[in-house]
Amino acid sequence: MSDFDKYFIKSEISYHPKLNFWRSHLGRDGVSLKIEIHRERDGLIIKPTIMFMHFYEDGKEIHCDKEPWDPDLNHWCVENAIRAKDPGNEALRFSLALRAAFKKPGGRFGDGIFNGVLLRTIADGPFMRHKSVSDVMRHIHRGNPTFDGQASGDCREMIEILIRDRALELLENLRYDKDQAIDILAGALGEYLDQRFSVTGRRLLGFSGTNRRLLATNDS
């Protein structure tokens, strides 16, 4: 064996030490795992997000582990069918997954095009009929931007693909039924839009509906 061979052999050891510990519990008889996302707001400030991994044996919690939010850790959890503790927490979890995913079109096309295309995509699509999304969208002033070029078309396609990827994760990896998956994904989109366009933040500052304006953060 040459010195290079270690780089060409698949290993069960993960780059993130937590995964080695979490993986060791998967498949054990009577043991199940659930993830909990904890994120607190202190006025206008949102504190760092924490992931709690709960371990159960025969329905009784035997251990709880925690780690700062990490998209790669979450992706592993989704791939291994580890659900969040409840649908509301699942929606929060997937809002963070959307934020990580949307960094790609946001970085590629810039905030201006991404924001406008995202809002148009949501407004034109079926999620606009879901209360979790419509209640947030009515507080976001969209104006009448014109995005009809190749870049906007490419951006919209990428956004649709990324939303579809999350929908399939809910349906195929986590095995929610379709109605549950729709509700969770709508909640995730509503939460993401709320944070990106500072909807709750502006309410806390006392802005009324007549003072609304599109105000985006740079986290996508």
Angle between helices 178-196 and 103-124 (to 10 degrees): 110
The 10s digit of each residue's pLDDT in 120-156 is 999 999 999 999 999 999 999 876 666 678 999 999 9
The 10s digit of each residue's pLDDT in 175-212 is 999 999 999 999 999 999 999 998 988 887 776 553 44
Q: Can you give the pLDDT at residue 189?
A: 98
Nearest of 202, 104, 101 to residue 216 by alpha carbon: 202
Main-chain dihedrals φ then ψ at residue 98, nearest 5 degrees? -65, -40
Residue listed under structure tokens 């060791």: 24
With a CB cutoff of 8 Å and minimum separation 6, the contacts of 16 are 70, 72, 73
Q: What is the mean pLDDT of residues 9-13?
A: 65
| Structure tokens that stand for 189 in this block | 């989109």
With a CB cutoff of 8 Å and minimum separation 6, the contacts of 198 are 215, 216, 217
Q: Has this prediction a pTM greater than 0.75? A: yes
Return the DSSP state at 170.
Answer: I
Q: Can you give the pLDDT at residue 220?
A: 42
Task: Tell me if residue 141 falls in helix, strand or coil.
Answer: coil
Nearest of 38, 8, 30, 33 to residue 18 by alpha carbon: 33
The 10s digit of each residue's pLDDT in 30-58 is 899 999 999 998 877 889 999 999 999 98
Q: Please say if the pLDDT value at position 11 is more than 50.
A: yes
Mean pLDDT over each residue of the chain, to the nearest integer: 88
Return the DSSP state at 189.
Answer: H
Nearest of 132, 131, 49 to residue 93 by alpha carbon: 49
Q: Please say if the pLDDT value at position 119 is more than 60.
A: yes
What percentage of the chain exceeds 90 in pLDDT?
A: 67
Q: Can you give the pLDDT at residue 146?
A: 66
Task: Tell me if residue 47 falls in helix, strand or coil.
Answer: coil
Q: Can you give the pLDDT at residue 214?
A: 46
Query: CA-to-CA distance for 167 and 66, rounded, in angstroms?
Result: 26
Q: What is the mean pLDDT of residues 74-85?
A: 95
Q: Can you give the pLDDT at residue 149?
A: 85
